[in-house]
Structure 1
Amino acid sequence: MTQLQIAAADGGSFSGYLALPAKTPAPALVVIQEIFGVNQGMRDLCDWFAAQGYVAVSPDIFWRIEPDVQLTDKTEAEWQKAFDLMNRFDQDQGVEDLKSTLSALREHDATTGKVGSVGYCLGGRLAFLMGSRSDSDANVSYYGVGLDGLLDELRQINKPLMLHIASEDQFVPKEAQDKITAAVAGNALIAAHVYEGNDHAFARVGGAHYDAAAAQTANDRSLTFFGEHLKS
């Protein structure tokens, strides 16, 4: 397992799983974890993005609470711990750590300096915030939670953003989905895709709500998006 050590802006350091493509220098992605930590699923995602030609890093954003969390979605005890970690997580500090990761990637010898972010669940919320609070070149949010409470951030977004929204998301009510899609409608920088009939985490391989067809469509859209904004 290859790790990247990242210096935090306020002191100390944390690690991230690092996957390198066959050819470098290459554009890079900050791959933002779900509530389960940098587990095998996140490492597999980094490896997959690397196979598509990106330097991919998934930083340990829970390091200030408990370093090296690696949970699954298979037991009630793990779910409870994951929700506890999410509830204790400082979102604003987390964004600062993601910005530190972004800076580390811009300076890394294996990258071109073009860096985007992609996040899932909690990570999808943070990818949205990377669009408003960082200089990330492009950002993708998969079923981000609580975005309806962050719509004031839209005025700060000046780089391309893509949202993948599950129509039957158990954590994002229909009313919230409608607020989000209405708020971003007509914004040339933001593309919002709704996946009808799909629940939260439809792109999590092996998850209870995994939908291979919807995941393929979302991933293809993400790769096209990143290709346009990071590889050109």
Structure 2
Amino acid sequence: MSETVKLKAGDGHEFDAYVARPAGEPIAGLVVVQEIFGVNSHIRSVADSYAKDGFLAVAPALFDRYERGVDLGYQGPDMEKARTFLPHLNMDFAVSDVAVALDYARGESGKKTGIIGYCFGGTVAWLAATRLHPDAAVGYYGGGIGRFASEHSTAPVQLHFGKLDQHIPKEEVDKVQAANPSVEVFWYDAGHAFNADPRPSYDAASAKLARERSLAFLKEHLTT
């Protein structure tokens, strides 16, 4: 079962959040953080998939601060429009809105709550782990993570990257791991956005393995 709810940040900003609920009692809460394409069909499908695994999944519309209802595809004009958001991204706002989503997921599930994010959302997931208090965090190919390498996680973290990703130098990821030795980092024979099945960069084998690792990690830290 899914629905869209309204959430309110500390500064009064109201934003949408897609909520996917499990069939029975939630095993945990999980915030799913978008790419630069908004809470689109792919991100909703990610939330739905984790709801099937028992999580109460919440995908906050972080771009509501710039334009409401952003729901873009991955090619042509949609890709061009998505890129126009990049100069305006404010990570402090993103973390603030994610904090509200974490509180909502905790309250609705009554259980431990984690966060998982992709691309832009992968960096946000890292910042949530260092600045907020999720019970676990998972990030996929967070392109800006190297800028925040000196921050220290307060939660268990697992990160996933593609060896062929031309957007994220391995040296940037190494900085994060050097400053946070407990962080789990996995590399795949794939490029950027290997988990996004609508995109040409999708790699089924890598996506499957990363999903299995993410699910096991989240269950380990959120249900025990």
- Name the TM-score class by shorter chain: over 0.9
Paired letter, 2:184: A
SS of the residue corresponding to residue 151 of structure 2 reads helix
Instruction: Give, in whole Å, the separation in 2 of the partners of 1:170 and 1:78.
Output: 21
Cα deviation, residue 27, structure 1: 0.7
Instruction: Give, in whole Å, the separation in 2 of the partners of 1:32 and 1:169.
Output: 20
- 1:117-138 per-residue CA deviation (whole Å, 9 max, x = no partner) reads 0000000000000100101110
- 1:24-80 per-residue CA deviation (whole Å, 9 max, x = no partner) reads 1431110000000000001111110000110001110011110110011121x2222
Instruction: Give, in whole Å, the separation in 1 of the partners of 2:164 and 2:172.
Output: 12
- 1:7-46 → structure 2 map (5 Å cutoff): 7-46=8-47
Paired letter, 2:185: A
RMSD of equivalent CA atoms:
1.4
Counterpart for residue 143 of structure 1: 141
Q: Give the 3 Å change call, closer, same or farther, for CA 63–218 of structure 1 in structure 2.
A: same
Counterpart for residue 66 of structure 2: 65
SS of the residue corresponding to residue 149 of structure 1 reads helix
Equivalent position to 2:208, from 185, 200, 216: 216
Cα deviation, residue 181, structure 1: 4.2
Paired letter, 1:23: G
- 1:95-127 per-residue CA deviation (whole Å, 9 max, x = no partner) reads 00000111112222xx02311000000000000
Cα deviation, residue 152, structure 1: 1.2
Contact preservation (8 Å) 1:26, 1:112: no
Equivalent position to 1:166, from 153, 156, 162: 162
Paired letter, 2:98: L
- 1:164-215 per-residue CA deviation (whole Å, 9 max, x = no partner) reads 011111211243344344444xx23x111111x3100001112111111110
- 1:47-196 → structure 2 map (5 Å cutoff): 47-75=48-76, 77-108=77-108, 111-154=109-152, 157-184=153-180, 187-188=181-182, 190-195=183-188
Cα deviation, residue 7, structure 1: 1.5
Instruction: Give, in whole Å, the separation in 1 of the partners of 2:198 and 2:18.
Output: 21
Instruction: Give, in whole Å, the separation in 2 of the partners of 1:212 and 1:102.
Output: 29
SS of the residue corresponding to residue 68 of structure 1 reads coil
Runs of 4+, deviation exceeding 2 Å: 173-184
Count residues in correspondence: 223
Contact preservation (8 Å) 2:74, 2:198: no
Instruction: Give, in whole Å, the separation in 2 of the partners of 1:63 and 1:6.
Output: 11
Instruction: Give, in whole Å, the separation in 1 of the partners of 2:111 and 2:11.
Output: 23
Unaligned runs of 5+ in 1: none
Unaligned runs of 5+ in 2: none
Q: What TM-score do you get using the length of structure 1 for normalisation?
A: 0.92
Instruction: Give, in whole Å, the separation in 1 of the partners of 2:145 and 2:165.
Output: 13
- 1:134-166 per-residue CA deviation (whole Å, 9 max, x = no partner) reads 011100000111211111112xx1210000011
